[in-house]
Amino acid sequence: MASLVAISAWSGFSADVNADAQDVLAHGRPVVANDGATDFTGHVVDLYVVLDHPDDRILAFASMIDVNLGTNYYQSSTGAGWLPSNDRSEQTEARTYADSFVTIGGTANSGATPVQPSFNQTELDPGFGGNGAAGPEYMGGWYVPGSELTQGTAQEQPGIGGQLAVMVGRFAIEGDEYFSMAETPVLVVWVDGENGSVNGTQIDVREYIIDDCNQNGIDDANDLFYGFDVDGNGDGILDGCLPTDLDGNGTVDGADLAMFLARWGTDDQSADFNNDGLIDGLDLALLLAAWSIDRDEPGGG
């Protein structure tokens, strides 16, 4: 198969992302895992290409920018570079759940946390930078080396809620900071499962979010782990999910009304519940609608 650089220059690619390749989703989560000697603690992102037909098949995938974020992606002490080649005799938790690798649809299981396979028919484009690279370079990609291989065929993926998709890689950064691959432009090349045509398009990665009750674009589990929001009263609901509880005591009451009225007519974001830049009657209506919601009581919102 031609290199990905050559593939990207082909003419006749479909420009309609809705034709087959629906989306590219990044499922990011914190992971703590043992590597035999030291524990890995960091953020792990699994990338999936969402397709619309069970016979659709991914041929190649590439980053349109350098997504290395200025640091090396994590490789465990038993890691063997970016290409999947997991030696089961040296398996560790960190290698199973945190080792960075790229693939076109190859995993050792189909669970919510896919495992790097011991062998996988995936090759790196020259622009990637080599198997020992810190991360994909600009237009660095990976591909299935033969058109007869079917490992990139769409499957239901539990890691993104059972959507029909192909896993194309895992990217992990060690440390205590959250990172996102959202809005990274990528190139996807696939075979249409219905008519056999080869198509390609550019898509911006989106964050896969399970719950986002405070609507900040970050999954609630990540909010809590990284301290972007808190659950002050331990009720399992992030405090930011009830913005009208201005004093954070778990109840919307007279104390919150007094704090709200003190901000009346300003653009104080803490009480601008509808985010229109002005604290006014519309915000008051939202506060009153939440009046007496007590999250410490059974059935509280």
pLDDT tens-place string over residues 162-192: 999 999 998 999 888 898 888 888 999 988 8
User: Which residues lie closer than 8 Å to 221 by C-beta, 6 or more apart?
Assistant: 29, 30, 210, 211
| Structural domain includes residue 261 | yes
Residues 66 and 22 in one domain: yes
Same-domain pairing of 159 and 75 = yes
Q: Which residues contact 14 (CB under 8 A, 6 or more apart)?
A: 20, 197, 199, 200, 201
Question: Within this chain, do residues 125 and 201 fall inside the same structural domain, yes or no?
Answer: yes
Say if residue 10's pLDDT is above 50: no
Predicted local confidence at residue 278, as pLDDT: 94
Residue 222 lies in a domain: no
Confidence band, pLDDT 50/70/90 cuts, at residue 15: very low
Q: How far apart are CA 186 and CA 203, in angstroms?
A: 5
Residue 148 lies in a domain: yes
**Amino acid at position 283, single letter:** D
- Give me the mean pLDDT over the 132-138 stretch: 80
Please indicate, yes or no, whether residues 77 and 174 belong to a single structural domain of this protein: yes
Tokens for 147, please give them.
């058109």
Q: Output the pTM of the full model.
A: 0.77
First CA to last CA distance, the chain: 56
Co-location of 87 and 181 in the same domain: yes
Give residue-wise pLDDT tens across range 79-107.
568 887 655 556 778 877 888 888 888 77
Which tokens hold the place of 270?
A: 């803490």
The answer to whether the CB of 191 falls within 8 A of the CB of 148 is no
Of the three residues 153, 176, 207, the one that is the final residue of a domain is 207
- Mean pLDDT over 24-35 rounds to 89
Q: Is 263 helix (H, G, I), strand (E, B) or coil?
A: coil
Q: What is the mean pLDDT of residues 190-196?
A: 87
Q: What's the mean per-residue pLDDT of the chain?
A: 80
Does one domain contain both 203 and 239?
no
> Distance (Å, rounded) from C-alpha 208 to C-alpha 28?
7
**52 or 238, greater pLDDT:** 52
| Same domain assignment for residues 103 and 236 | no
- Among 39-43, 121-125, 228-232, which is the least confidently predicted range? 228-232
Residue 190 falls inside a structural domain: yes
Give the Å distances, CA to CA, from 187 to 69, 83, 99, 100, 142: 19, 19, 23, 20, 11
Q: Measured on CA atoms in the order 106, 107, 113, 115, is the torsion positive or negative?
A: negative
Q: What percent of the chain has pLDDT over 90?
A: 23
Radius of gyration of the chain (CA): 23
pLDDT band at residue 5 using 50, 70 and 90 as cut-offs: very low
Q: What mean pLDDT is predicted for residues 11-37?
A: 72
Given 153, 175, 207, which residue is the final one in a domain? 207
Do residues 157 and 114 share a domain? yes
How distant, in Å, are the alpha carbons of 44, 90, 92, 105, 182 from that of 109? 17, 18, 16, 11, 25
Least confident of 117-126, 150-159, 176-185, 280-289: 117-126
The answer to whether residue 283 is domain-embedded is yes
Q: Would you say residue 236 has pLDDT above 80?
A: no
Please give the residue range of the domain that contains residue 237: 230-289
Number of domains in the chain: 2
